[in-house]
Amino acid sequence: MDAARRAVRLDLGTISGPLARQILEQSASAVEAEVRRLRPALKHTQGLDADDLRSMGQIAALESYLTWDAAAGCALRTWTGRVIRWRLSEAIERAQSPERCSGATPPKALEQTYDPSEGYDASERIGWLETTVGTLAPRLRCIVAAKLRGESGSEVGRTLGVSQTVISVELTQALGTLRVQAVDDGLGEV
């Protein structure tokens, strides 16, 4: 996937100046809304600020133009909003990652499940969970990540353009997949 993203980023140069300005003007409000939404999370990152998010949001807007598929049934404006949200949320998650930021506090979900007195077994389970969530379909990963960040089903639904019921069904599906994988990997019920 990284190679595909690098290819898209290299293709950004193929967008003409006037077209790029038009895309950036049309997506400015979506970028600003996402920066405002994520501003509280910036307190828990190192080396990332609102201007960085704004720049990443502009790149995501241009990326969305290159990756949009009209045949998929999603309006360009909707797709642009989704890509901006995904990329900025991803940037926050990377900046909060304990491996990337020495001294950063671990995310709440990991903080609640990790007890140092449990030793290596607990850290193995956390590593397994991170790896296994990474194998889920992108949409399911997005839903699980959003729920771990504390977003409600309706907030996640608005982001993805679907109902809260669909989010609930897909979250149940993702958790079921994780449970089956845990049993298959000999971890028992997670």
Report pTM: 0.48
Rounded Cα–Cα distance for residues 183 and 93 (Å): 28
| pLDDT in 10s for each residue of the chain, 190 residues | 455 555 555 566 677 888 888 888 999 999 998 888 888 887 777 778 888 888 888 888 888 888 888 887 888 888 888 888 888 888 888 776 544 433 334 444 444 444 444 444 666 677 777 778 878 887 788 888 888 788 888 888 887 778 888 888 888 888 888 888 877 777 665 5
Query: Is there a single domain that holds both residue 13 and residue 58?
Result: yes
User: For residue 46, which amino acid is it?
Assistant: Q
Query: Is there a single domain that holds both residue 73 and residue 164?
Result: no
What's the domain range around 164? 106-190
Query: Is there a single domain that holds both residue 26 and residue 2?
Result: yes
Number of domains present in the structure of the chain: 2
Query: Is there a single domain that holds both residue 39 and residue 126?
Result: no
Domain's final residue, options 41, 75, 103: 103
Q: Per residue in 52-66, is it b (16+ CB within 10 Å) or e — as a string?
A: bbeebbbbbbbbbbe
Query: Is there a single domain that holds both residue 92 and residue 115?
Result: no
Query: Is there a single domain that holds both residue 120 and residue 185?
Result: yes
Query: Is there a single domain that holds both residue 91 and residue 130?
Result: no
Q: What is the CATH number of the domain that holds 189?
A: 1.10.10.10
Query: Is there a single domain that holds both residue 111 and residue 81?
Result: no
